[in-house]
A and B are shown apart, each in its own frame.
Chain A
Amino acid sequence: MAQPVEISITATGRKVTLPTGLFINNEFVPSVDSSDVIQCLNPATEEVICSVVAGSAADIDRAVAAARAAYNTTWGKNVGPVERARLINRLADLMERDRDVLAELESLNNGKPVRVARDFDIGDSIGCLRYYAGWADKITGQTIEVDNKTKLAFTRHDPIGVCGQIIPWNYPINMWAWKVAPALACGCTIVMKPSELTPLTALKLSELIVEAGFPAGVVNTVASLGSVGGAALAAHPDVDKVAFTGSTVTGRKIMEAAAKSNLKKVSLELGGKSPHLVFESADLEQAANWAALGILYNTGQDCTAGSRLFVQDTIYDKFISILVGKAKEMVVGNGFDEKVSGGPVVSKVQYDKVWSYIESGKQEGATLALGGQKRPGKGFFVDPTIFTDVRPDMKIVRDEIFGPVLSVAKFSTEEEAVKLANDTSYGLGAGLHSKDADQCMRVSSALEAGTVWVNQYNLLYNNVPFGGKKQSGIGRELGSYALDEYTSVKAVHWNFGEKLDWPF
């Protein structure tokens, strides 16, 4: 095991060599004590792409040891910021060079359209790496006046150390970049655990880590089951920090494991049930475009999916008919088809989960305005689905579905809209559409979400922070704020003049 395999991508005729081992100390190796493998599927065809080595808890130990050794010798405080920047920029260059291969691999394993993977997922990822490369030599502390005659006080923003990073399957490459870039810029070393559903691009990117010139052990990749590798990282006594993106359920387990082990720092980016508000003054055409994007982009498999739509009663009928029309225009199919704007959901488990929510919507009495019919044949395809006449207590309104399933309700006043929007334990994203500037200010201020989109939805920039309020998470990614997640502040009090009298 752990030998590279050659994959043939039927749609483009491309052959890709894929490493299948665990990436530790810049080498691909077999498991130290397990013969388990992870089968990677193509969700559009349900066919097996290949198998990769599944890491065990002992493999995680090995990876952590490698990351710790690198932190103590070739990385951490042993490498200067200009060099860190240079390597991260080099990695970005290589990702740009291999953009097409990576896009096809991402589409094959995740199902998203190739052109979306290439232009958005990978384009944003390259930008993310370059953005954080630019921060590497700009991580400054403070000098602070205490007593000018005898003391110097200052802070240093030290790298946190060895970081376990656990990423999900919905944006494999993009989530990889969001985590790897700031951690490396700050001088941390990494044990990356990609999702067991979509480990292939993380393994391919590990080849680029070597080619870029990162010292061995700085980035390690252990494909593994969440309950094995993820749990091992969260509980590991020699990991200084765990960063996780995924479900709220798993996030709790990680925080618990961190608390019970070594109180490692934890950042979590979890689920959402994000409200999308359309007020009567909104540009209805545009609002419908953004609302459709908000629930259908990435086939609804987005933590900030605008999955609860609230429309002001005065424009409700008109808006819904526009929205349904937009949703119908969305072509869902195989990601290698250039006409397609959405792919399948990622797996059978997700497929069954989404359908069980659709069934529960029907059973609880919501009205199906669009969708609700399963497609025959292969592939985990779910077509755009819109429920109207929903009640706040319905499962489809309370729970995160993570599919292209929208719940729509009416409101009459602004106060009611805000109340309905905030009635959730989540707080990741929110959107509002209105031409009334004062209303935009009031409502954006009142919405309890880490990101509020005004007259748009879903679009993120590498220099603007992202993260959740309430049970959607802890900490922020992107922007300068991510640096706080990977640095640890040390205050140095340097006495050069005070003599201490004794006895005190």
Chain B
Amino acid sequence: MPETFVYQWDTPAYKGNTSLSTGLFIDGKWVDGSNNTTIDVINPATGKVLTKIAEGTSKDVDIAVQAAHKAFDTTWGLNTPGSERGRLLYKLADLIEKHAEEFAALEALDNGKAFNWAKMADVGLSLGIWRYYAGWADKVHGETIETASNQLNYTRHEPIGACGLIVPWNFPLLIASWKLAPALATGCTVILKPSEFTPLTALLLAKLTTEAGFPAGVFNVVNGYGSVVGQALSEHPTLEKIGFTGSTLVGRKIMEAAAKSNLKKISLELGGKSPNIIFDDADLDAAVQWANHGIFFNHGQVCAAGSRIFVHAKIYDEFLRKFTEKTKELKVGDPFAPDTFQGPQVSEIQFNRVMNYIESGKAAGAKLHLGGHRIGTEGYFIAPTIFTDTTPDMKIVQEEIFGPVAAIIKFEDDDDIVAKANDTVYGLAAAVFSTNIKRALTTAHKLRAGTVWVNCYNNLAPNVPFGGFKQSGFGRDLGQHALDNYTNVKAVQVNLA
């Protein structure tokens, strides 16, 4: 029998408690991993163990996949009409809303992000996404297509079936929602693999799916290591779809495993090194605010983070001064203090990784303009860091750091800046700041990125698609296009002759 994780908060930002099973959630039941082993869950603000969760193995993955297949063939898929699937999704959304603070507190405890930000951003946007896709459930249309008068041709957008959804630790609930909501809306069943670093909100979500009334086997959670559970899902011989958000490195492995097994469909949302271009005619104060948020939000642990900030020479000094001032005002500390902006990085591994990049920046001769050090002796807190005087070949300019580290880069040549911005293997996002619409739009249209923000950063909405060009991935999350990730188009051609 899996243990129960019980926790009580008595903090300035939140008072409340939680009680969650730490088991795997398969076919409507909470179970131990088949090896009876566990994984420690660490509180990144203290470095201490919070609880242990059941560790899934490839055998558990197979059991979950079979349960998901069975539910798809009997109680879910097109056996349940879209209006009913939508009703259950709306019900789940209402339950998420009811438990909003509990979710935010779990996310802050597990990931280290500030409670208030978790509530407003992570939980707030997740709710909008569940409700958005609940509305799509009975609107997944095919087409009728005319060829000859003795033919009837139509398409059906059929749910693929059981889907493996592998999600990261930076926005555990939110990115899980990005994938779960459209998958369930279209009629797919799901096996969610949360990150082993941040499994807690998925456990609460699973509990609520039972309360909402989803049939057993529709929603399954198998916690475990990427190299075990993620790998098992990717190479599973009968699973037909994986949706993945995470590093480009792991994305490659998933694609390879899919190719070597059953050519399962995959959608990948991977890393980025997104350019943020600030032209000399930008609204400077606004640009400073957005650009700052663009790199330091969520401790820099954002795939679309605007980590290469290109500033026109004419405004560079003033921009840097204001940006630095703003950065100094960011409060780093306890996620449960009411005015905290930035908590700890998610884990020791990530902490070391970011610190190594900072060292490499220094070693390569970039100027460490601000920060660059650990804060405190407990937990994985890193001071917001600014590098200037970088060169394009430096690791801190080429590689995704995934931490609160900004590179601010001076540019002069308008024609050249797009080439510089596009000079990356990634293509997830980009931004342009300018009050000249011609400049803003022509630049936006030339940037090779799946999202281009004009005079803003990090804006997301449930109905606007998001995803990558180039090595930032393929397939789109959010918006109507996400439904395509979870459906197979079948053409039915009827001969009436």
Contact = CB atoms under 8 A, between A and B. Distances in A.
Our verdict on whether A and B bind, yes or no, reads yes
Interface of A: 81-82, 85, 89, 127, 130-131, 133-138, 140, 148-149, 152, 438, 441-442, 445, 462-463, 480, 496-497
Given A441-B496, A463-B83, A134 B139 contact: yes
Contacts of B135: 85, 133-138
- Judged by DSSP, the binding face of B is helix
B139 A480 contact: yes
B437 A496 contact: yes
A135 B442 contact: no
A137 B82 contact: no
Contact of B134 (A127, A134, A496): A134
Nearest to B132: A137
25 contacts: A82-B128, A89-B90, A127-B83, A130-B83, A130-B87, A131-B138, A133-B135, A134-B86, A134-B135, A134-B139, A137-B132, A137-B135, A137-B462, A138-B135, A138-B136, A138-B463, A148-B445, A441-B152, A441-B496, A442-B496, A445-B152, A445-B496, A496-B442, A497-B438, A497-B442
B157 to A, nearest CB: 14
Given A127-B83, A149-B442, A138 B139 contact: yes
A136 B134 CA distance: 12
A477 to B, nearest CB: 16
Contacts of A442: 496
B119 interface: no
Indicate the member of B128, B141, B152, B442 with the most A CB atoms within 10 Å. Answer: B442
Contacts of A445: 152, 496
Contacts of A152: 441
B131 interface: yes
B477 to A, nearest CB: 16
A463 B132 contact: no
A264 to B, nearest CB: 29
B135 to A, nearest CB: 3
Q: Which 5 pairs of residues, A with B, have the shortest CB-CB distance? A: A134-B135, A496-B438, A441-B496, A463-B138, A137-B463
A134 B463 CA distance: 12
Contacts of B441: 152, 496
Contacts of B462: 137
Instruction: Give the one of B137, B138, B438 with max A CB within 10 A.
Output: B138
A379 B284 CA distance: 77
A462 B82 CA distance: 11
A89 B86 CA distance: 13
Interface string B475-497: 00000100000000000001010
A82 B125 CA distance: 12
A85 B141 contact: no
A135 B139 contact: yes
A148 B441 CA distance: 10
Contacts of B82: 463
Interface string B442-455: 10010000000000
Contact of A480 (B141, B438, B494): B141
A130 to B, nearest CB: 8
A438 B463 CA distance: 41
Interface of B: 82-83, 86-87, 90, 128, 131-132, 134-139, 141, 152, 437-438, 441-442, 445, 462-463, 480, 494, 496
A75 B132 CA distance: 21
Contacts of A134: 86, 134-139
Contacts of B139: 134-135, 138, 463, 480
A10 to B, nearest CB: 36
A151 to B, nearest CB: 10
Contacts of A89: 90
A382 to B, nearest CB: 35
Contacts of A82: 128, 131
B141 A462 contact: no
Nearest to B135: A134
A462 B83 contact: yes
Nearest to A133: B135
Contact of A131 (B83, B141, B480, B494): B83
Contacts of B128: 82
B127 to A, nearest CB: 10
A463 B132 CA distance: 17
Contacts of B442: 149, 496-497
A177 to B, nearest CB: 15
A138 B86 contact: no
Given A130-B83, A480-B141, A496-B442, 20 more contacts: A127-B83, A130-B86, A130-B87, A130-B90, A131-B138, A133-B135, A134-B139, A135-B135, A137-B132, A137-B135, A138-B135, A138-B139, A140-B480, A148-B445, A149-B442, A441-B152, A463-B138, A480-B139, A496-B437, A497-B442
Contacts of B438: 496-497
B27 to A, nearest CB: 30
A480 B82 CA distance: 15
Nearest to B495: A438
A138 B437 CA distance: 27
Contacts of A137: 132, 135, 462-463
Contacts of B445: 148
Nearest to B137: A134
A267 B442 CA distance: 42
Contact of B494 (A81, A133, A135, A441): A441
Nearest to A132: B135
Contacts of A149: 442
A89 B139 CA distance: 17
Nearest to A438: B496
A137 B437 CA distance: 27
A290 B428 CA distance: 56
A496 B454 CA distance: 15
Nearest to A86: B131
Contacts of B83: 127, 130-131, 462-463
Contacts of B141: 480
B136 to A, nearest CB: 7
B125 to A, nearest CB: 11
B81 to A, nearest CB: 9
Contacts of B437: 496
A441 B152 CA distance: 8
A438 B83 CA distance: 31
A135 to B, nearest CB: 7
Contacts of B136: 134, 138
Nearest to B436: A496
A130 B91 CA distance: 13
A314 to B, nearest CB: 24
- Most chain A CB inside 10 Å of its own CB: which residue of B83, B132, B135, B152: B135
Contacts of A136: 135
Nearest to B149: A445
A367 B87 CA distance: 50
A381 B134 CA distance: 44
A496 B444 CA distance: 13
A438 B441 CA distance: 54
A320 to B, nearest CB: 31
A82 B462 CA distance: 10
Nearest to B86: A134
- Identify the interface centre among B82, B437, B496: most chain A CB within 10 Å of its CB: B496
A127 B137 CA distance: 13
A187 B437 CA distance: 29
A386 B139 CA distance: 40
A96 to B, nearest CB: 11
Contacts of B86: 130, 134
A496 B440 CA distance: 10
A322 B384 CA distance: 83
Q: Which of A82, A134, A480, A496 has the most CB of B within 10 A?
A: A134
Contacts of A138: 135-136, 139, 463, 480
A133 B135 CA distance: 7
Query: Which interface residue of A135, A149, A463, A497 has the most chain B CB atoms within 10 A?
Result: A463
Contacts of B494: 441
A148 B445 CA distance: 8
Contacts of B131: 82, 85
